[in-house]
Structure 1
Amino acid sequence: MRKFSGIEKAAALLSLIGEDAASELFKHFDPIELARIIPMMSRIKLTQEEAEAVLKEFSEKIGTAPVTVDEEYIKAILTRAFGEEQAAKLISKIESGASAFDILRWLDSHAIVTMLQKEHPQTIAIILAHLEPSQAAEVLSKFPEQLKIEISHRIANLEQISPFVLSELEDVLQSQLRSYTQSRRIGGIRTVAEILNQMDKTSEELILKSIEEKDPILAEEIRKLMFTFEDLINVDDRGIQTLLKEISTDDLALALKMASDELKEKIFKNMSQRAVEILKEEMEARGPVRVSDVEKAQLNIVRVARKLEEEGKIIISGKGGEAIVI
């Protein structure tokens, strides 16, 4: 008879006790336990003998046929535990064969930080490298300053992660890591640059400065791949006009408060005279503003520019002189 792990036993129990009881129990698991148990529920099959060995008190509920879990059953208990919208997202991830790291994306940043706060920085780096930059930045921002720096440095130095290392992370994430059968290229300089692009200016500079002290060449490579508000100076006039259609006047008025004269002139010359007058009046009317508000407005505009990059709608000359679609 097969031996079952603790996760398999938990999945078996939840499969047998009924929707009401299962949905109540779900509320008492932490997010990472759920991320491991739910996919197992959709896969586990038990003979009568195996079920009796694992769940003696439920043996009278089990027939002689192999026990499997109906998809509607899983959907029902997830809906009762988390609500229809959250349940639908998780079910979609599972049905699409999503990786363990993909399933983490349905968790909020606080849940992920709680999950990872006692883990080794290398483990955290690998996990953050698999998340979307905006989500990774939000998670990273919640760690202490020195840990932020160390994690960022480790992300920048990630190259290839072996299947063995990823399978070791199964204890931290969930059993779907078994699907990682080939080495995957993750992390690296581009990943940390994208994450830093999503962070506030103070954290970004602190992390870059610390990396620079340890590895000046690495820091320079990261900076080359980062896209900042001032880099808009390299966008051609047509691109600036396209960008201006997509951003709010409020963000622009705030963002230009700390912009270089050169960038201001670039923006102004791509607006009508009347629009420039209105914008300047708004900038003056605002008076002194908080640096954090200016940085937030600049970041909002940078995010729009990066979206236009992905859509191929504007072009910027790279810092190394090479034309890049952005």
Structure 2
Amino acid sequence: MRRSISFILLLGFFTLNNSIAQIPRSNSNSPDKQSEETKYERYYEIVLENALSEYYENGSFLVDVQAEVERVLVASEYEVVEELPPLEIENLPGLPVIPPGLKATRTGRDSIKVTGFNSSFRLNQLTIRILIDTSYTQEDSEFINEMAGMVANADRFRGDIVTVERKIFPNQQRGTTLTATTKADTVFIGQSNDGVELAENKFLGIDWNNPKHLMYVILGLFILAIALLIWALMKRSNSENQDYSAVSEELKNLQASLESDERPKDELREFKNDKQAKFEEEKMFIINRTVSQPETIAKLIEDLINDNEDEGLVKAVRAIFSTDPKIIDVLQPYLDDKIHDSILFGLTNIETIPVSEKAEEVTEFKKKLLALKVSKNKGDDDNHLFEFLNQLTNQQLLHLIRGESDEMIAILLAQLSGDRSSFVLQKLDENKRIPIVLKMGKIANIPISIYKKVAAHFSHKALTVSDMKYVAADGVESILDTIDNLPVTEQQSFVNSIAEKDLNLAKKIRKYFVAFDDIPNVNDEILQTALEDSTTDDLIKALYNAKEPVKAKILSVRPDREKELILSELKNNQEFTSIEIEGAKKNILLLIRKVLKSRG
């Protein structure tokens, strides 16, 4: 019995020991996530501080590192921890442990003991924030950012973040150079000459290293820019509202200066203002007639010489010399060769004529010219100031306006027909095109005296062009003629460009202007009246490939029989050239504009 009890007790004792052995023991060295993150943070802070201390003074920067780790599964029974041998290096990015002897160089902070990172955790992200003093330059900031990423072995794809911020550090002497530290191989920013550095940083009494001073400078420049912008807008508004008479005065002064340069000084002293004005006006009349009607002038000269060869030749030579010797080049194709050679010989060998005699010769020659009764209209000399332009080709017109101001070109183009002015405008630079059109719209405000001076200037200039009708009374009408000769697809955009520069002028133009795509907006009665003068053939061509609203509008005002005919022709898919379609559309637009103009 006792043996049985002893055996049971012995068996229970062994069973109890075996159960206790199966209970896992608590590990006091269980890794903690927060402490592991602290290890990484302290390690990278010390590494970065040591690296920055090699280049910059302590106390002018701060380093803060935030580490994030995550737990990984590791078979602890296979973990082997060995103490690493001492290292003789300064920095080595990505070390698994803090090397022995690696201590913080910053005062007031102790170094930490060598502690291995636990392999149960893995570094997931680093957030490095470095504060630097405002005395650091932008190049310093960029350098620190790059260096921190390299030293810490930051991985942007892993999510590591490196930021460098500039703050005002207390007890920092700005504007002076950084002093040397105890390390012999330290590189410093700045120069040893304090006086030179101070002069550079305090130019015009402003401390350029002080952010407050810089803010004041920027604010002052901003206020100055606003003031200049307001002044420019006010000046532009005043110039736009200014009466166009100022431009006329400018043209008058320009022409006066041109005339004064062409006249000898003795003539200016000899002539009074009224006689001088009459002399110039008569010369302008003869030159205009010579350029516009060279056959008439040539016939007059030949008649003078045929009536009395010697006396007539002398009068012809003196008249041409007194007006402008260059007109002989214009008359050459219309003169007999013998007469031309005689006049040219006389012009080459003639002596200087006093200005008073020149005036008499010009007056006498003008009387003979008027006696021919070339024009039946009274005041023909005023109404045909620019008639000489009809003798010029389009290419010669481009040569004629070369080097002229926008005002002079605008007056000249206003005298041309719509197709010719449109051709010249399209050849001009795009930046000059709209300003010239805007000035054409103000032609009505220019007095006839300015027309005479401008005509005189261009007629003199036309003499240099070999083989060189009307005065436009309304610049808006000239612009409308110009628009009519533009392609239909470009007319609306052209008017929009004018509206961007001069809204009032655009309103005047739109009063009589209708784009082809705007036909649906035209009053039915006006459209019906306008299309009464159109042909069915024009309507078919104009509506070929036109937009449906345009087709519907035009067909709605036509008789039913004609409507059916037009629809039938359009369904037959006839082929029309682009020129035919363009011409038909322009004819319809001209008819609409004619009705609008007749009704005011």
SS at match of 1:299: helix
Letter of the structure 1 residue corresponding to residue 500 of structure 2: E
Question: Are the equivalent residues in 1 in contact too, given 2:491–2:515 (CA < 8 A)?
Answer: no
Which residue does 2:186 correspond to in 1? none
Say whether the 8 Å CA contact 1:32–1:115 is kept in structure 2. Answer: no
5 Å-filtered alignment, 1:14-93, equals 34-35=291-292, 54=321, 57-58=345-346, 92=375
Work out the CA distance in 2 between the residues paired with 1:93 and 1:135: 27
* Alpha-carbon offset, residue 118 of structure 1: 4.2
Using the TM superposition, give the Cα deviation of residue 215 of structure 1 relative to its aligned residue in structure 2, in angstroms: 3.7
Distance in 2 separating the partners of 1:267 and 1:169: 45
Residue of structure 1 equivalent to 2:522 = 234
Paired letter, 1:140: L
Structure with greater proportional helix content: 1
Cα distance change on mapping 1:250 and 1:286 into 2, 3 Å: farther
Number of equivalenced pairs: 264
Counterpart of 2:406 in structure 1 is 121
User: Equivalents in 2 of 1:294, 1:51: separation in Å?
Assistant: 55
| Deviation at residue 279 of structure 1 after TM alignment | 0.8
AA matched with 2:457: D
Larger deviation, residues 298-307 vs 253-262? 253-262
Rg comparison, structure with higher value: 2
> Residues 274-314 of structure 1, C-alpha deviation per residue, up to 9 Å, x if partnerless?
3222211222333687777544321122223445667x5xx
Please report how far the alpha carbon of residue 125 of structure 1 lies from its aligned counterpart in structure 2 after TM superposition: 0.8
Please give the per-residue CA displacement for 1:250-277, whole angstroms capped at 9, x wherever unaligned.
3212322465544433432333333222
Report the equivalent of 2:562.
Answer: 275
Residues 1-326 of structure 1 correspond to what in structure 2 (within 5 A)? 34-35=291-292, 54=321, 57-58=345-346, 92=375, 96-97=380-381, 98-105=383-390, 107-162=392-447, 163-164=449-450, 166-173=452-459, 186-229=473-516, 230-231=518-519, 234-237=522-525, 240-257=527-544, 259=546, 261-286=548-573, 294-307=581-594, 324=599
SS at match of 2:543: helix
Kindly provide the CA deviation profile for residues 48-84 of structure 1, in whole angstroms up to 9, marking residues without a partner as x.
976676569459xxxxxx986977xx99xxxxxxxxx
The answer as to whether partners of 2:528 and 2:557 remain within 8 angstroms in 1 is yes
**Contact 2:413-2:421 at 8 Å conserved across structures:** yes
Q: Any conservation in 1 of the 2:540–2:569 contact (CA below 8 Å)? A: yes
Equivalent residue number for residue 111 of structure 2: none
Alpha-carbon distance in 2 for matches of 1:284, 1:211: 39
Change (3 A) 1:92 1:200: farther
Q: Spell out, residue by residue over 1:190-220, the C-alpha distance to the aligned partner (whole angstroms, 9 max, x if none).
A: 5423432332234434433433333445434
In 1: Cα distance, 2:430 partner to 2:580 partner = 21
Deviation at 1:226, TM superposition (A): 1.7
Distance (whole Å) between structure 2 residues aligned to residue 199 and residue 214 of structure 1: 19
Q: Is the 8 A contact 2:480 2:509 kept in 1?
A: yes
Tell me, yes or no, if the aligned pair for 2:406 and 2:432 is still in contact at 8 Å.
yes
> Is contact 2:385-2:452 (8 Å) kept?
no
5+ unaligned residues in a row in structure 1: which ranges?
Answer: 13-30, 60-65, 76-90, 176-183, 313-323
Percent identical pairs in the alignment equals 23
Structure 2 CA distance for partners of 1:147 and 1:273, relative to 1, 3 Å: same
Q: Does the 8 Å CA contact 1:156/1:189 hold for their aligned counterparts?
A: yes
Superposed CA offset, 1:10-32 (max 9, x none): x89xxxxxxxxxxxxxxxxxx99
Amino acid at match of 2:556: K
Q: Distance in 2 between matches of 1:166 and 1:130?
A: 13
Aligned mates of 1:232, 1:41 — CA distance in 2: 57
Aligned CA distance change for structure 1 residues 240 and 156 (closer, same or farther; 3 Å): closer
Higher relative contact order (CA 8 A, sep 6+): 1
Residue 115 of structure 1 aligns with an amino acid whose one-letter code is: L
Q: Given the superposition, is the C-alpha separation of residues 260 and 57 from structure 1 closer, same or farther in structure 2, using an over 3 Å criterion? A: closer
> For the residues of structure 1 that align with 2:595 and 2:503, how far apart are their CA atoms?
31
Q: Secondary structure at the match of 2:386?
A: helix
CA distance in 1, matches of 2:436, 2:594: 26
Q: Are residues 202 and 228 of structure 1, via their aligned partners in 2, closer, same or farther at CA, if it must alter by over 3 Å?
A: closer
Indicate how the Cα distance of structure 1 residues 258 and 158 shifts in structure 2: closer, same or farther if over 3 A, else same.
Answer: farther
* Partner Cα separation in structure 1 for residue 344 and residue 578 of structure 2: 64
SS at match of 2:404: coil
Residue pair 1:190, 1:225 contacting (<8 A) in 2 also: no
For the structure 1 residues 107 and 32, does the alpha-carbon distance in structure 2 shift closer, same or farther, using more than 3 Å as the test?
farther
